[in-house]
Amino acid sequence: MAIPPYPDFRSAAFLRQHLRDTMAFYDPVATDPSGGQFHFFLDDGTVYNAHSRHLVSATRFVVTHAMLYRTTGEARYQAGMRHALTFLRTAFLDPATGGYAWLIDWQDGRTTVQDATRHCYGMAFVMLAYARAYEAGVPEARDWLAEAFETAEQHFWQPAAGLYADEASPEWQVTSYRGQNANMHACEAMISAFRATGERRYIERAEQLAQGICQRQAALSTRALAPAAEGWVWEHFHADWSVDWDYNRHDRSNIFRPWGYQIGHQTEWAKLLLQLDALLPAEWHLPCAQRLFDTAVERGWDAEHGGLYYGMAPDGSICDDGKYHWVQAESMAAAAVLAVRTGDARYWQWYDRIWAYCWEHFVDHEHGAWFRILYRDNRNTTREKSNAGKVDYHNMGACYDVLGALGMGAETG
């Protein structure tokens, strides 16, 4: 694959064009006329599973189309967003309980639920989808957002902890697992919900979630075992929110609940803290964001092959040396937000370094979009460009976030 010359990665024109180019991979093949979008694609765009549909992909297709519509103003992207929204509400939502199926089979216009487990992670993306849709001109999505928020509050919210539980049965019996990932993405959703609606309850909840994870839970994991990752965010907790060091210890590449400190989650939190600070300032946001980002890139960058590793063990060793697309994307976005906020040129240097690495290794210059996972030496690990959850949400979102940080918000494009 020929690698084109480096563009100006800080250029608004480049960021907008890269959004278009990435979505172009999905445009000709993703839409299923019978409902929603297909979710499973090989590198060349071939759909390799036409019937399985995952809640995370379904919601993220709403978000990516909303971003493209607000970036370009083109009606086809708003139509794609509405198509995805309709599918989310007709195929995944159980109106009787307010819950959303995690995985369904869709054939002949009918839903067969394959996994009805209620995941707070999925509900976070439901709320994000509705918030972005409301911003992009779907007025009824404001009520859908409120409905999803109230469902999450009723069934997942734990007032004593100030955080959301993670998982429940279809009848809303909450399990004992607690995780930071669902709370991180709930914080992301709350920030977007406040931007879209101006309702203060959303931004106040975002601050509570950020404090709970990045201050209290991070301090817990540091005291317990992890001097190599002081103040870092651990992934897994017991029902009482004590640290669970062993959950998925032998499943370090789990797509939603991997073991180890996740390099990309430290940088993703850095980005979210500064986005939160722009709306509800607090003295602790910036120093925490800088510490998380600085230590993550210091310990997570592969000096030999480039790119950021996936996972780090509590003793500071790399426990998963794979390169994941989302880790690079969230880290470049965090670098840009930090650069703009602090004026420190080293953050722009990190932004350019990560982008250059992705341009050479993750961007598919032949077929479009980004590869999903690479080995440490940057060989592609799979022919599957997108499986459940990917849809290039993270890398398109990074472009969108950088445009916002530069004051060239997508809606002005």
Q: What is the pLDDT of residues 124-156, one digit of tens each?
A: 999 999 999 999 999 999 999 999 999 999 999
Confirm if 191 and 203 have CB atoms less than 8 A apart.
yes
- Residue 146 resides in a domain: yes
Let me know if 265 is a catalytic residue.
yes
The yes-or-no answer on residue 119 being catalytic is: no
- C-alpha 87/C-alpha 57 separation (Å) is 11
Identify whether 3 is part of a domain: no
Which CATH number is 297's domain given? 1.50.10.10
pTM listed for this prediction? 0.97
Is 115 inside any structural domain?
Answer: yes
The overall longest dimension of the chain from CA atoms, in Å, is 55
* pLDDT given at position 34: 95
Is residue 113 predicted with pLDDT exceeding 80?
A: yes
Residues 282-316 pLDDT 10s: 999 999 999 999 999 999 999 999 999 999 998 88
Please name the residue that has the structure tokens 């993405």. Answer: 185
Q: How far apart are CA 263 and CA 301, in angstroms?
A: 9
pLDDT-derived band of residue 225, with 50, 70 and 90 as boundaries?
low
What is the tens place of the pLDDT at every residue in 322-351? 999 999 999 999 999 999 999 999 999 999
Residue 223 pLDDT > 80, yes or no? Answer: no
pLDDT band at 123 (very low <50, low <70, confident <90, very high): very high
Per-residue confidence band for 226, with pLDDT thresholds at 50, 70 and 90: low
Dist CA 215 CA 139 (whole Å): 36
In the predicted model, is pLDDT for residue 45 greater than 90?
yes
Specify if 7 maps to a domain: no
Q: Is residue 256 part of a domain?
A: yes
- Please say whether the dihedral angle defined by the alpha carbons of residues 130, 133, 134 and 139, taken in this order, is positive or negative: negative
pLDDT at residue 412, rounded to an integer: 38
Q: Mention every residue, 6+ apart, whose C-beta is less than 8 A from residue 150.
A: none
Is there a domain that residue 2 lies in? Answer: no
Q: Catalytic one among 39, 65, 325, 394?
A: 394
Tokens 């997570």 belong to which residue? 300
Q: What is the number of domains present in the chain?
A: 1
- State mean pLDDT over 241-249: 94
Lookup: tokens for 132: 């972005």
Residue 215 belongs to what domain range? 12-412
Residue of 120 and 409 predicted with greater confidence: 120
∠ CA 403-405-410, rounded to 5°: 30
Catalytic residue among 119, 265, 285, 361: 265
Residue 390 lies inside a defined structural domain of this protein: yes
* Average pLDDT value for the chain: 95
